[in-house]
Structure 1
Amino acid sequence: MALPPLSPEQRRAALDKATAARKVRAEVRDALKHGRMSLADVLASDSEAIRKMPVRTLLESLPDIGKVRAQKLIAEIGISDSRRIQGLGIQQRVRLLERFASQS
């Protein structure tokens, strides 16, 4: 299914929205990395930009967690590789919060 062509104004608006979402996600990742925000704060967020962040990216943003450890945690908790924050189930959220309770 082909997307309808966008007018220059619609294209600019879409690009601006995408840029704003990337900026919000970058700020959240930085806040997580430096301890200014907790995992619970991110999971409870109403922001559409944050809710669309992949769980793997979220975990990689936590202090002392890299790509390999994030992948192991995702597999251990039973989260799909492509899952986004908004798609997490209640039990998956609980397991994530329990796993990082000492760091929150």
Structure 2
Amino acid sequence: MFVFDPDFTFEWPVKVQLPGGEVTEFTGRFRMPEDEKDIFERVTGEDTLSMIDAARARLCKYWIGWSGIQVKDGGELPFSDANRQNLLKQRPIRMAVDHALFEALIGMREKN
């Protein structure tokens, strides 16, 4: 039986391509947008910096956790708003999270 959950969350792989070509992966935990239209929400702003801020804010609404992100000295990076903000400051990570969310929601994966 299908049970509707307006606060549905799910996990999805996030593949980060670092400068130099290295690809690494972690698991992102996401919240389903309330409206399908939110999947295609355009990021707007007066300039590039405000568009980046808007993209980060948009992702913060849906990216609610992770596993598999290690810290340099060992151990796993705990989820917090501050850690999420620090990760989103890195363009490869922000782009990977955005791609993973979109990929999960439209039900399409890239071919290897």
Larger Rg: 1
Which has a greater percent of helix? 1
Which has a greater percent of strand? 2
Give the TM-score taking structure 1 as reference length. Answer: 0.31
